[in-house]
C-alpha cells in the first residue's frame, strides 16, 4: 500500500480534501480514486477545484487469507511468517508480492522435512493493497489468548526488486518514525538480529529499512507481537552510495515497475524502460520484474531465521 497521507501526490493515491467532481460525484477522504494523475491530484487538493477522474463503481468482494500450520511439540509458542498474496489492480504483482509469496511456499515445503519444536504458521494475506485488510482482520478476530500464543511474526513484501538493496526492518524507533505512537514490541530487535546474522555470515551487505507500518506486520506490532521482515525497496530511487554497494542503477527506483502493469513477467513489453532493464538484467539475473539473485539470497535468509525460531524463540521472548 501507499502511505495514506492527506496530500494527493501520486497516481492512484487515496485522495483527501477533495470536493465535487465535474460529473457531480463527490470524493471523500479515504476513497481511492483510480486513474487520478499527479496533476489531477494536485488540482483536487485546491478548495473548490474540479478535475476529471474515473471513479470506479463501488463493489464488494469476499477475499480469503490462506493459513497453513505445522504443529510442534511446543504448541503455545507459535512462530508465524507471512506475505501478501494480492496485487494492485494495475498489474499482476510479480515482485509485489509474488516474490514474498513464492519464498513463503518454498519455505513451507522445505519445513515439512523439519521436526520443529515450536508450531509454525504460514499466512498468505488477502487484500493488503486495499489497506492491510486481510492481516488486520486476522489479528482483530483472534481472541487475546490466541494472540498471546504467537511468539513472533516475520513479513515478506517485495523481496526481489530488480534494482534491489538488502533491507531488514529496523526495530530502532529513533531511526524511523514508528506508526502512531505505538512502541515497537520487545523482541523485534532480536528478530532483526537473526536476519542480520545471516547476511553477516554470508558476507552480504544489508541496511536498516523502514518499519513504519506500511505492510502486514502492522497489526502484529499494534498488538505487542514481536515482528521483523525483509524488503528490497519499492518506488524510492537508489542512491549513489547504494549503487556502490549493491550495483544496479542509481537514480532509478528499486522497483521501476512498482504498482504498474509492468510488474509482470514481461516488464519491457508492458512498458518499462528497455535500457534500464537491459542494465539491471545483465547485473541481477532478472526473470521478468524480479531479481532471482535477490529472491534467492532473501529466501535463504528467511529459511535461516524461521528454522532457528522453529527450534527456539528464547532470544525473542526471553
Enumerate binding residues for Zn ion (CB under 5 A).
Answer: 96-97, 157, 208
Helical H runs in 133-217? 133-141, 144-148, 188-202
Q: Torsions phi, psi of 233, nearest 5?
A: 105, 150
164 is a contact residue toward ligand PHE (CB under 6 A): no
Interface region with ligand PHE, contact rule CB under 6 A, candidates 12-20, 178-186, 208-216, 310-318: 208-216
Q: Does 157 sit near ligand PHE (CB under 6 A)?
A: yes
Q: Does 310 bind ligand PHE (CB under 6 A)?
A: no
Only one residue has cell 513463503, namely 104
470536493: which residue's cell? 19
| 126 sits near ligand PHE (criterion: CB under 6 A) | no
Nearer to ligand PHE, 63 or 146 (CB): 63
Q: Taking a C-beta distance cutoff of 8 angstroms, is the pair 254, 161 a contact? A: yes
State the catalytic residue, choosing from 90, 128, 136, 192: 128
User: Closest separation between CB of residue 265 and Zn ion, Å?
Assistant: 17
- Nearer to ligand PHE by Cβ, of 116 and 218: the residue is 218
CB of 211 to ligand PHE, least distance (A): 8
Cα–Cα dist 267/274, whole Å? 9
Site string for ligand PHE, 231-250 (x = CB under 6 A): x--x----------------
Q: Is 128 a catalytic residue?
A: yes
| 158 touches ligand PHE (CB under 6 A) | yes
Q: What are phi and psi of 123, to 5 degrees?
A: -130, 125
Catalogue the active-site residues: 128
Binding site for ligand PHE (CB under 6 A): 1, 96, 128-129, 157-158, 210, 214-215, 231, 234
Amino acid at each position: 500500500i501507499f502511505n495514506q497521507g492527506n496530500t494527493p501526490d501520486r497516481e492512484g493515491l487515496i485522495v483527501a480534501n477533495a470536493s465535487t467532481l465535474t460529473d457531480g460525484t463527490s470524493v471523500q477522504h479515504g476513497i481511492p480514486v483510480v486513474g487520478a494523475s499527479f496533476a489531477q491530484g494536485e488540482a483536487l487538493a485546491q478548495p473548490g477545484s474540479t478535475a476529471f477522474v474515473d471513479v470506479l463503481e463501488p463493489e464488494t468482494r469476499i477475499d480469503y487469507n490462506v493459513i497453513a500450520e505445522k504443529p510442534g511439540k511446543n504448541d503455545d509458542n507459535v512462530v508465524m511468517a507471512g506475505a501478501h498474496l494480492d496485487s494492485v489492480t494495475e498489474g499482476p504483482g510479480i515482485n509485489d508480492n509474488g516474490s514474498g509469496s513464492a519464498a513463503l511456499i518454498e519455505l513451507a515445503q522445505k519445513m515439512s522435512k523439519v521436526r520443529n519444536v515450536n508450531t509454525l504458521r504460514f499466512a498468505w494475506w488477502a487484500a493488503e493493497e486495499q489497506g492491510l485488510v486481510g492481516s488486520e482482520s486476522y489479528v482483530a478476530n483472534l481472541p487475546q489468548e490466541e494472540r498471546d500464543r504467537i511468539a513472533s511474526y516475520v513479513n515478506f513484501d517485495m523481496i526481489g526488486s530488480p534494482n534491489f538493496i538488502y533491507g531488514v526492518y529496523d526495530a530502532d524507533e529513533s531511526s524511523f518514525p514508528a506508526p502512531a505512537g505505538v512502541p515497537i514490541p520487545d523482541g523485534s530487535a532480536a528478530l532483526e538480529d537473526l536476519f542480520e546474522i545471516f547476511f553477516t555470515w554470508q558476507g552480504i551487505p544489508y541496511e536498516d529499512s523502514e518499519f513504519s507500518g506500511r505492510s502486514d506486520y502492522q497489526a502484529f506490532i499494534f498488538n505487542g507481537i514481536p515482528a521483523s521482515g525483509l524488503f528490497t525497496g519499492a518506488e524510492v530511487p537508489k542512491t549513489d552510495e547504494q549503487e556502490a554497494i549493491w550495483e544496479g542503477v542509481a537514480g532509478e527506483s528499486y522497483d521501476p515497475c512498482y504498482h504498474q502493469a509492468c510488474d509482470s513477467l514481461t516488464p519491457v513489453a508492458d512498458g518499462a524502460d528497455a535500457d534500464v532493464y537491459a542494465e539491471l538484467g545483465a547485473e541481477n539475473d532478472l526473470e521478468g520484474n524480479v531479481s532471482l539473485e535477490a529472491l534467492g539470497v532473501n529466501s535463504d535468509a528467511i529459511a535461516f531465521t524461521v528454522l532457528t525460531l522453529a527450534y527456539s524463540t528464547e532470544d525473542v521472548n526471553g
